[in-house]
Amino acid sequence: MLNRYAGALALCLAGTGTVLAAEGAQESVADAMAQVFGAENVKSVTATPVPGLNEVVLDGEVIYVSDDGRYLIQGNLVDIQERRNLTEERRGEMRAEAISALDEKDMVVFEPAGEVKHTLTVFTDPDCPYCRKLHSEVPQLNAAGVKVRYLAFPRQGIPSPGYDKTVSVWCAEDRAAAMTAAKSGAEVESRTCENPVMDQLQTGMRLGVRGTPTIITETGRTFPGYVPAAELLSQLD
C-alpha cells in the first residue's frame, strides 16, 4: 500500500512545510496521512523516543514521519543502547492484537491433555513440506503444554487445488483428523461449506506472512518457517 501512494504522500506532507509545530504534530501528521491513505487506514500516530519523529501505524505497516511533515522513513527504529528493535516490537504488538481478535472456533486446534503453558498460532498449507514436518512434531509440543492453532494460508492462492484441499480440511466433520490426514499425504474427502479460509489468507497477508509455516506466539513474535519442536520449546521457555 505504501509504495503505491508514496509520491502523493510526499506531496501532501511537503505541502505542510514547517507549519507543523512539535506540539500537536501527531494530530497534524494524522490529518495529512488520512488525506492520502484514508482515515480508516491510519490506525495511530504517536511520538517516538527520537525527538521530532512520529510513529505512524497504517493498516499492517509501521512508518515514521517527522514533525514538520517533510521526512518519511521506512525501516526499523533500533535502540542501540538497549539493543531493542522498537519497530519489530510494535509489529509484534499488532500481530498479537490481530491474532487475539480471531475466533478459535474458526481454527484447527491441537490441545495438550493438561495445562496449556503456551499457544502457537500457525499459518499453514496442507501441502507444504515443512508444514508437514512441523505437524509431525505437534504431539511433542502438546506433551510440553503447547497448544497449536492452525490458520489457513493456501500458498497457491485462490482459486487453486491447494485452496480446495484447505477448504476440504476446514469443512470436515473432524478438522484435526482431516488436517493430519492431509499432512500425511492421504486423500481428504472433497467438501465445501461456509468457511474462513479466504479471510485467514487475507489476514496472513496483512500481517506480512509470505510463506508457510509462519509461527506466531502470544506476544506476536514470529518464526517465519519451520523450527524444530525442541528449539521452539527452548525459545518459549
Q: List the catalytic residue out of 131, 132, 149, 171.
A: 131
**Residue 125 appears among annotated catalytic residues:** yes
Which residue out of 68, 90, 91, 128 is catalytically annotated?
128
- State yes or no: is 12 an active-site residue: no
- CA–CA gap between residue 60 and residue 1 (Å, rounded): 9
Residue 66 forms beta bridges with which residues?
A: 53
Ramachandran angles phi, psi of 184, nearest 5° = -95, 0
Any bridge partners for residue 84, and if so which? 79
Task: Give me the helix-helix angle, 161-171 and 197-206, nearest 10°.
Answer: 120
Q: Helix 161-171 crosses helix 175-183 at what angle (to 10 degrees)?
A: 140
The catalytic position among 12, 125, 127, 171 is: 125
| Of 29, 61, 21, the residue nearest 45 (C-alpha) | 29
Cell digits of residue 92: 509484534
Q: Does the annotation count 128 as an active-site position?
A: yes
Q: Which of 90, 91, 132, 155 is catalytic?
A: 155
Q: Tell me if residue 193 is catalytic.
A: no
Distances (CA, A) of 82 to 73, 86, 211: 21, 10, 31
d(CA 154, CA 85) in angstroms, rounded, equals 30
What secondary structure letter does DSSP report for 203?
A: H
The residue behind cell 493498516 is 59
Catalytic annotation, residues: 125, 128, 131, 155
